[in-house]
Amino acid sequence: ITSAMTGRRNSTMIIKFILLGFSEFPKLTIVLFSIFLGIYLMTVAWNVGLIILIRTNSNLHTPMYFFLSYLSLLDICYVSTTVPRMLSDFFKKHKFISFMGCTMQYFFFSGLALTECCLLTAMAYDRYAAICNPLLYTTIMSPTLCVQIVAASCVTGFFGSFIQVCALLQLHFCGPNIINHFLCDLPQLLILSCSDTFYVQVMLSVLTVIFALSSALIIMISYGYIVATILKITSAEGRSKAFNTCASHLTAVTLFFGSSTFVYLYPNSGDSLSQSKLASVLYTIIIPMLNPLIYSLRNKEIKDALNRWKKRIFSCC
């Protein structure tokens, strides 16, 4: 009898999920679609513009802007793993996604998120090298090392995602198949699993702690040295420039790490599901749009490059 029940259970294994998205707000469908479409287009436009600006301006060919251009590229890919699918679901009656489609979306979404985590940490080290060792900066942050850091960030990020996907593929889903989210995220999938998810939840928490705490530790140590060095600068203009550069990076780090850590460490039950969805909107959609602004608004070098760009455009016209 037990084996027959087990066979019957396996035969009803879920092969499709339903992404609810924002279906709890049916009257706001057009408004939400317009808002998210606008945010997505601005995200792509601003990040592409920043990449072109950095690549075409020789004054911005430094390690800091090298990392920033790859951060912009990551943000474009990152937001494109979720938003186009979410936008298409707004007007679908049946918001189905296959199990493999769900798994692949999570693989790329998680891989890009972890890669961004590593890259933001590398950017903190870059600021440390620039401010604490200015005479050796170009030697320490050589072009070869910068490329290696970006490559290592990608490998580390997608390896962490691969581990999670391997754990996900070991789970069984026999119903229900409704995901109360706009993307296939592992915490929501664990709620639907018929398997014992204790070890997967432990693994997810451990990976979150490893990436979040190790990154936070490196960032805090780097900024500890940075603050100590800045306080020794006698020039008020020099201190202001250094603080402005660091403030942009710290703002981006705080927003990204704060919202993502909340999603993956906060218990997913009851009202927290709605809070988790809102936090996910922040770090999957809003932050990729804000990053180019965060790094540009108080950055004199980017402002100067933009002004030169404008002059070229108007002179050609």
Tens place of pLDDT per residue across the chain (317 aa) = 333 334 434 445 788 999 988 888 889 999 999 999 999 999 999 999 999 999 998 888 999 999 999 999 999 999 999 999 999 999 888 889 999 999 999 999 999 999 999 999 999 999 999 999 988 998 999 999 999 999 999 999 999 999 999 999 999 998 789 998 899 988 889 889 998 888 888 888 888 888 888 898 999 999 999 999 988 887 777 787 778 778 888 888 988 888 777 776 665 554 556 677 888 898 899 999 999 988 887 777 888 888 887 777 766 66
pLDDT at site 234:
79
Q: What is the number of alpha carbons within 13 Å of residue 268 lying toward its C-beta?
A: 22
Domains of the chain by start residue, with CATH: 2-316 (1.20.1070.10)
What Å distances lie between residue 123 and 37, 113, 153, CA to CA? 30, 15, 11
- What CA–CA distance (Å, rounded) separates 56 from 292? 16
In degrees and rounded to multiples of 5, residue 22 shows phi and psi of -115, 35
Q: What is the number of alpha carbons within 13 Å of residue 81 lying toward its C-beta?
A: 24
One-letter amino acid of 234: T
Measured over the CA atoms of residue 69, residue 75, residue 81 and residue 83, the dihedral's sign is negative
Please name the residue that has the structure tokens 């710290």. 250
Model's pTM, two decimal places?
Answer: 0.89
All residues at 6 or more sequence positions from 285 whose CB lies less than 8 Å from its CB, including other chains:
36, 39, 40, 43, 79, 82, 83
pLDDT at site 295:
86
pLDDT at site 182:
92
Beta bridge partners of 18: 96, 178
Q: Which of 291, 296, 292 is nearest to 307 (CA)?
A: 296
pLDDT at site 204:
83
SS3 assignment, position 233: coil
- What CA–CA distance (Å, rounded) separates 137 from 71? 21
All residues at 6 or more sequence positions from 275 whose CB lies less than 8 Å from its CB, including other chains:
262, 266
